[in-house]
Amino acid sequence: MFKNLQMTGLSITALNFIASILFSYVLTPSLINNSDALNLVANVFSILSGFLLLVITMSGENSSISTNLSALDLANQETRFIMRFHKYYALFLLYIVTLALIFINYLLIKDSARHGNTFIFLKGFIGYVISFLTCFSFIQSTFIPLKIKELFKEKRELGKK
């Protein structure tokens, strides 16, 4: 069961997870109390969403190429597309969740009527989640240009068959 796991990808994700925990532990107060930083995160994730949609589109385009391919190659293309789609769709959802939490954070900061322990805990928890997701999603996004390059190469190879 575990022999098909991609250990490099899992290791990178685990290191990213640890780095994101450290980032959120150390830098949450600086990020959450700085509306310019939160606006920057929102803008960067909006741009990265566009690149992510490009990768999903290119992956779908590559999987639709069926000229001169065997049944096994077609099945492999379909499997690759499904795996890529789920991976990048999950990253897209992380962007959306982070943006939604930033919006909720703005609303909570402006709420001066509530001061209970639960409210204070909720604001702090959302702040740490925003920091964690910001770091985690951003690091995961650094691989998007490499994926675009890989998809172009794959398209060229499929065109040669």
Q: In this predicted model, what pLDDT tens digit does every residue of 99-158 receive, in sequence order?
A: 999 999 999 888 777 778 888 899 999 999 999 999 999 999 998 888 888 888 887 777
pTM: 0.83
pLDDT at position 5: 63
Instruction: List the one residue out of 103, 138, 113, 161 whose CA is nearest residue 27.
Output: 138
> For residue 21, what pLDDT band results from cuts at 50, 70 and 90?
very high
| Cα 80 → chain centroid | 18
> For residue 7, what pLDDT band results from cuts at 50, 70 and 90?
confident
Q: In this predicted model, what pLDDT tens digit does every residue of 40-99 receive, in sequence order?
A: 999 999 899 888 888 888 888 777 776 777 788 778 778 888 888 898 899 999 999 999
pLDDT at position 124: 92
Whether residue 120 contacts residue 142, with contact meaning beta carbons closer than 8 Å, is answered with: no
Phi-psi region for residue 65, left (φ > 0), alpha (ψ -120 to 50) or beta? beta
Is 2 in a helix, a strand, or coil? Answer: coil
For the chain, the structural domain boundaries read: 16-160
pLDDT at position 85: 87
Burial 104-137 (b: 16+ CB within 10 A, else e): ebeeeeeeeeeeeeeeeeebeebbbbbbbbbbbb
Residue 39 has pLDDT above 70, yes or no: yes
**Residue 135 token pair:** 């770091």
